[in-house]
Structure 1
Amino acid sequence: MDGAVEFDTSIPSEDEIRARARALVPFLREQAAEAERARRLPAATIAALQAAGLFRVLQPRRWGGYEMHPNVFYDVLMTLGEGDMSAAWCYGVIGCHPWQLALFDDKAAQDVWGEDTSVLVSSTYMLQGNAQPVDGGYIFNGRWRFSSGCEHCQWIFLGGEVEPGSGNMDMRTFLLPRADYQIVDTWDTLGLKGTGSHDIVVKDAFVPEHRTHKFMDGMMCDSPGNAVNTHPLFRMPHPQVFIRAVSTASIGALQAMLNAFLDYGAKRTTVTGSRTAEDASAQLACAEAASAIDTMKLVLHRNMDTMYRQACAGEFVLLPDRLRYRFQSADVPERCANLALRLFKAGGGAAVFNRLPFARILADIHTGKAHAANQVDSIGRNWGGVMLGLENTDLWI
């Protein structure tokens, strides 16, 4: 098995994995307040996700994973969002890293999983890293923001450039062990408080060549790890898999808000004696949210199904499709934020109290919308410009 660890445990069905995620929703809902107070997910939350095998959904089978269809991963992500968007967000980011690690030279997987296939990897892909070539690798320096769930992980993916300013445009993901970077406690935010997305600092760390992955290789679906990880799953475009990992939690959070509002609104009578269930604005807000959730899920599943089929057939995902998928991913948090705000307003003055989940969910969705991959206006302008005959300026497709 080329150094990979034998894994005898039977692989659950896709439906079983979805059911395990669903069973965790009440637990995550209970843990949400503690996560907010601590500004990180409780260790018990990570342990529950590990015990359910959820981090193995996109992990190579030869390294103890399940190699499931990406839509299983996103279904799990949306379901977890119904319990707590912070937990779902961390799962989305950390849970897609086993998939990217499979794209590295297999020596990197041996470094991470050689003794324990449950080891987790965090990330921040901001191109803040300065990599200077030395014999066998690079001396790496930089400071990054937004490493979600980093306190629960033993390794990290960091974005950087080889000899920045040289004109080489050699952008990569660099893989470092916990001993080679510092976590700086900076996470004090409006929403997604439980993600613990702190800063990362690296000073003069040596990163061997095999622990780097070129952005272009991931975009072209031709990475060193494809030599041993031959499942079509690993021939999908890296940017397209990751962008959905940071937009899809919003769908689950909007579903959580709708569920809570339906329970609340069906019973509520305002101070004027009117019933929320008979309020036309509340009725329409519920209908529009439910319809949008259905539509966003359908588009997500269709796009992933299409790319997966193309990977199975050895076909390349073309630029027009990538730009469309990119916009449709970034548009999700925008739509969810607008729909959540309508539900929040329909809840009246009581919605502002923390005994109800509405304010927390609204803040979480708006915070997720701020991620660089969710900047729908600039992404939409680029796509529209390409349709009008201009050159593409987006490198993360």
Structure 2
Amino acid sequence: MDVTQTVPGPELVRRAAELVPLLQKHASWSEENRRLHDEVVEAMADAGLFRMRVPRRYGGYESDTRTLCDVAAHLARGDGSAAWTASVWWIPGWMVGMFPDEVQDEVFATPDVRVCGTLSPTGGAEPRPGGVLLNGQWGFISGAWHSQWQEIIAMGAAPDGTPMPVMMLVPMTDLEIVDDWYTAGMRGSGSVTTVARDVFVPAERVLPLPAVLQGQYASAGNADSPVWRAPLLGVAAASSVGTVLGLARAAREAFLDRLPGRKITYTSYESQAEAPVTHLQVAEATLKTDQAEFHAHRVTSLVDEKGRSGEPWTIEERARSRADVGAVCQLGRAAVDVLAMASGGSSIYSSVPIQRIARDVQTVNLHALMTPQTNYELYGRVLCGLEPNSFYI
């Protein structure tokens, strides 16, 4: 498939939908082996999905976040881990566009480059002539096995010597991978731990995180692009919601696929499809999914419209983007839970997809930046006229 030319959003969404059978085929393998199947990664690359957040001057598409959401929703219909990992690659991949152009030249020289990363400052960066010396370890690094670079946050120092978190890019060849991803959900994402031991990072690959969070990026080439006219957390929010939306849709598809011929054990209903309780369950789950879609598209619309107009973000809009993510997670999980409970005892077998879908959506809801209650509290605090109590807004 030719991906050398700019590809419009609807075409990328169509390609993602076509990958669903392949993702379903390898979902069990990916879960058992705790990483994505190589064929899945290659297929996503062939479809151009790793170029969606790459600048056009490097052969990328600069796709908007609505397209990211819709693509991830299709991927999650096949495998939640594949969708989640793709969204994680999109976010640090977009963050590469904040760095000086000469750094981007180096990173984007690799076709279909994949950059994993995290926002947790669980390492230290000591000043050295021409750069910093990095030590530390970072957990939950989704897609590390198939990445060429990692975006890393560590505690460094401001020019006056006060502690300051910094963001940097490090080749995966400079890092160690600890194979510790033994989890209840999202097992196929391969979200292992990475370790840096006395890794030298050149100064051009180091940015102050406070400046990044305020939208002060170092790239001249991306300065006029709508894609990079957005705050980091808003972009992260809009890039993540598609996975949960897709898992809710996957649950309904999986439930309806098993429905014909099923009865409700220990009742007089020989056909589950004819039972009023089933009608209530399917309707409730579908409406919750529809509500999740509203919040997913609201946050992507905010990011994309602000990017096109160049208007600054208000504190309330920043907090609402976090709240919209929380709503998608809460509603998506509720939709999956309804259908998982309606699937009967036989659904606990590993061969039945809905048990994996339920574990995956539960796992996403536990992510620190996506947990509904934390995000709602932040939004409500701002609505009540108080200052946000989070650095990540």
Normalising TM by the smaller chain, what interval?
A: over 0.9
Deviation string, structure 1 residues 287-310 (Cα, Å, up to 9, x no partner): 122222222223322332233222
What's the offset of the Cα at 1:108? 1.6
Deviation string, structure 1 residues 68-90 (Cα, Å, up to 9, x no partner): 22211111011100000010010
Residue 73 of structure 2 corresponds to 78
User: What pairs with 1:10-89 in structure 2 (closer than 5 Å)?
Assistant: 10-89=5-84
Q: Aligned to 1:158, what secondary structure does the other structure show? A: strand
Residue 161 of structure 1 corresponds to 155
**In structure 1, what is the Cα distance between the partners aligned to 2:163 and 2:72?**
33
Residue 187 of structure 1 corresponds to 181
Q: In the superposition, relative to structure 1, how do residues 367 and 156 fare at CA in structure 2: closer, same or farther (>3 Å)?
A: same
Moved more, 266-275 or 69-78: 266-275
Q: In the superposition, relative to structure 1, how do residues 331 and 228 fare at CA in structure 2: closer, same or farther (>3 Å)?
A: closer
Between the aligned residues of both structures, percent identity stands at 31
Q: Aligned to 1:127, what secondary structure does the other structure show? A: coil
What's the offset of the Cα at 1:348? 1.5
2:130 to 136, 150, 154: 136
Q: In the superposition, relative to structure 1, how do residues 191 and 80 fare at CA in structure 2: closer, same or farther (>3 Å)?
A: same
Tell me if 1:317 matches 2:299. no
Residue 348 of structure 1 corresponds to 344
Residue 257 of structure 2 corresponds to 263
Normalising by structure 2, what TM-score?
0.94
What's the offset of the Cα at 1:251? 1.2
Moved more, 184-193 or 255-264: 255-264
Q: Aligned to 2:95, what secondary structure does the other structure show? A: helix
Q: In the superposition, relative to structure 1, how do residues 170 and 281 fare at CA in structure 2: closer, same or farther (>3 Å)?
A: farther
Tell me if 1:147 matches 2:151. no
Residue 284 of structure 1 corresponds to 280
Query: Partner letter of residue 204 of structure 1?
Result: D
Count of paired positions: 389
What's the offset of the Cα at 1:167? 8.0
User: What pairs with 1:200-279 in structure 2 (closer than 5 Å)?
Assistant: 200-272=194-266, 273-274=268-269, 275-279=271-275
Query: Partner letter of residue 296 of structure 2?
Result: L
Moved more, 327-336 or 153-162: 327-336
**In structure 2, what is the Cα distance between the partners aligned to 1:319 and 1:142?**
32
5+ unaligned residues in a row in structure 2: which ranges? none
In the alignment, is the contact (CA less than 8 A) between 1:58 and 1:70 conserved in 2? Answer: no
Moved more, 153-162 or 186-195: 153-162
Q: In the superposition, relative to structure 1, how do residues 331 and 214 fare at CA in structure 2: closer, same or farther (>3 Å)?
A: farther
In the alignment, is the contact (CA less than 8 A) between 1:77 and 1:248 conserved in 2? Answer: yes
Residue 113 of structure 1 corresponds to 108
In the alignment, is the contact (CA less than 8 A) between 1:226 and 1:235 conserved in 2? Answer: no
Cα RMSD (Å): 2.0
User: What pairs with 1:82-97 in structure 2 (closer than 5 Å)?
Assistant: 82-97=77-92
5+ unaligned residues in a row in structure 1: which ranges? 1-6
In the alignment, is the contact (CA less than 8 A) between 2:213 and 2:232 conserved in 1? Answer: yes
What's the offset of the Cα at 1:169? 5.2
1:370 to 363, 366, 371: 366
Query: Partner letter of residue 157 of structure 1?
Result: E
In the alignment, is the contact (CA less than 8 A) between 1:127 and 1:161 conserved in 2? Answer: yes
What's the offset of the Cα at 1:394? 1.5
Q: Aligned to 2:308, what secondary structure does the other structure show? A: helix
Q: Aligned to 2:278, what secondary structure does the other structure show? A: helix
Residue 4 of structure 1 corresponds to none
**In structure 1, what is the Cα distance between the partners aligned to 2:213 and 2:78?**
33
**In structure 2, what is the Cα distance between the partners aligned to 1:163 and 1:204?**
17
In the alignment, is the contact (CA less than 8 A) between 1:102 and 1:109 conserved in 2? Answer: yes
